[in-house]
A and B are shown apart, each in its own frame.
Chain A
Amino acid sequence: AQSVAQPEDQVNVAEGNPLTVKCTYSVSGNPYLFWYVQYPNRGLQFLLKYITGDNLVKGSYGFEAEFNKSQTSFHLKKPSALVSDSALYFCAVRGENTGFQKLVFGTGTRLLVSP
């Protein structure tokens, strides 16, 4: 069975500092990994994905994520946080052999960037 763990309910960081939001996964076969961001009372916005290729994936709004197969991790990073980055972040995964391309989501990590 597929699963995603986001071990931190909340991450606090000061504006201008680097940020990391952690994600580990478990799937059978090769993983398809995604990060989404959700602002209050809104749907999810796609940030980036890893399907194959380079382990470092660059996405929207200056975010990037690094796929680490040995550690089964896909942590989200940004070199310099903005107050406007404050939101709820979801990591999601599906295995390459999963029918109907269903995603399994983590429980979400709230990012709070202080001025």
Chain B
Amino acid sequence: GAVVSQHPSWVICKSGTSVKIECRSLDFQATTMFWYRQFPKQSLMLMATSNEGSKATYEQGVEKDKFLINHASLTLSTLTVTSAHPEDSSFYICSALRAGGHQETQYFGPGTRLLVL
């Protein structure tokens, strides 16, 4: 199968600190990864598209200086929430795109719950 991991699974931090979340594709290479945010009882909101070796593409309304994305290798993308505030508390989910023409599928990580105090 296609396995995607996220670390940490949950994190509690103080307001003003930065938090880094890692997303790894364990058994396939992913040139493209996605970062989503999910609020309670809501759907997933795409934050940005991460492409290996290039700058991430952010969705409208998402602050790129606030949510730093680095896709340094074909199996790892990181999301850093800088100077976190309580309103950044959320469930962050990454996905990795397993490409291959018409067989492309996004496989999701288990999510990271962030609580900013």
The chain A residues found within 8 Å of chain B, CB to CB, are 32, 34, 36, 41-46, 49, 51-52, 90, 100-103, 105-108
Given A36-B108, A44-B93, A46-B107, is A107 in contact with B42 using a C-beta cutoff of 8 Å?
yes
Given A102-B34, A106-B43, is A43 in contact with B104 using a C-beta cutoff of 8 Å?
no
The chain B residues found within 8 Å of chain A, CB to CB, are 2, 4, 6, 32, 34, 42-44, 46, 49, 51, 57, 91, 93, 95, 97, 99, 102-111, 113
B108 touches A45 (CB 8 A): yes
Partner of A41, one of B6, B46, B105, B111: B111
Query: Shortest distance in angstroms between A27's beta carbon and chain B's nearest beta carbon?
Result: 15
B49 touches A100 (CB 8 A): yes
**Bound complex: CA A105 to CA B106 (Å):** 12
A44 touches B108 (CB 8 A): yes
